Amino acid sequence: MKKITFVLAATVVASLAGITACKKKTVTETVYVDNTPPPGPPSLYTRLGGVSAITLVTDKFINNCATNSFIGPRFAATASDPNRLRVFRFNLIDQICAGSGGPCQYKGVTMLQAHQGMNITNAEFDTLVGQLVKAMTFYNVPASEQNELATILLPMRSDIVGH
Ligand code: HEM
């Protein structure tokens, strides 16, 4: 009898310990204590290679546009004024960086304001996007990332064309 009571008591203690252990497990949670981004797929910004890769692509893109026979004349005044070119370049880098989920902030004017009075056509817009694609291809940006960036820029068409 003494032995049975002991076994019973031992079983109760063991199962209580088990319950306590179970309870401890269920209160485990992830707490973010710094700016570590939550786990998930890397942003387009990261997949493009960050601001240094975006800068390389942007410089190639600007050069492609300025030397293109169809839209080049549009950029003649910008290309010949170092200060204007510097501001345009930084604004474009910030725009692509911010648009792809990077830590930059676009500080330029809206797309509607920037292209107001230029009467840009759809053909010119498509040619400019083509120059960006050419720049990304030159730096071996994969097709999926190229398409993602184009998808971010294409909705700007209505603010840029025909004003
Ligand atoms: C997705 C398409 C486009 C994007 C993302 C874009 C972006 C920009 C940005 C960020 C600026 C600078 C705004 C500022 O300084 O505050 C700008 C200015 C300008 N854009 Fe565009 N643009 C696009 C299409 C075009 C097209 C199709 C043309 C002409 C063919 C064009 C010609 C210009 C010119 C001439 C300026 C003025 C540059 C200067 O300040 O000297 N853009 N654009």
Q: Indicate whether 82 and 118 sit together in one domain.
A: yes
**pLDDT of 7 over the 50 cut:** no
Q: Please classify residue 79 by burial: count the beta carbons closer than 10 Å to its beta carbon, then call 0-12 exposed, 13-18 middle and 19+ buried.
A: middle
The answer to whether position 18 is within a domain reads yes
Q: Indicate whether 114 and 90 sit together in one domain.
A: yes
CA 96–ligand 1 middle distance (angstroms): 12
How does pLDDT run across 68-99, given as a tens digit for each residue?
999 999 999 999 999 999 999 999 999 999 99
Q: Indicate whether 129 and 75 sit together in one domain.
A: yes
Query: Which of 3-7, 24-28, 109-113 comes out lowest in average pLDDT?
Result: 3-7
Counts for the chain of helices (H) and strands (E), in that order: 9, 0
CA 133–ligand 1 middle distance (angstroms): 16
**61: Cβ below 6 Å to ligand 1?**
no
What range does the domain containing 130 cover?
44-160
The answer to whether position 37 is within a domain reads no
How does pLDDT run across 13-64, given as a tens digit for each residue?
444 444 444 455 666 667 667 776 667 899 999 999 999 999 999 999 999 9
The answer to whether position 51 is within a domain reads yes
Q: Indicate whether 64 and 141 sit together in one domain.
A: yes
CA 48–ligand 1 middle distance (angstroms): 21
Averaged confidence pLDDT in the chain: 88
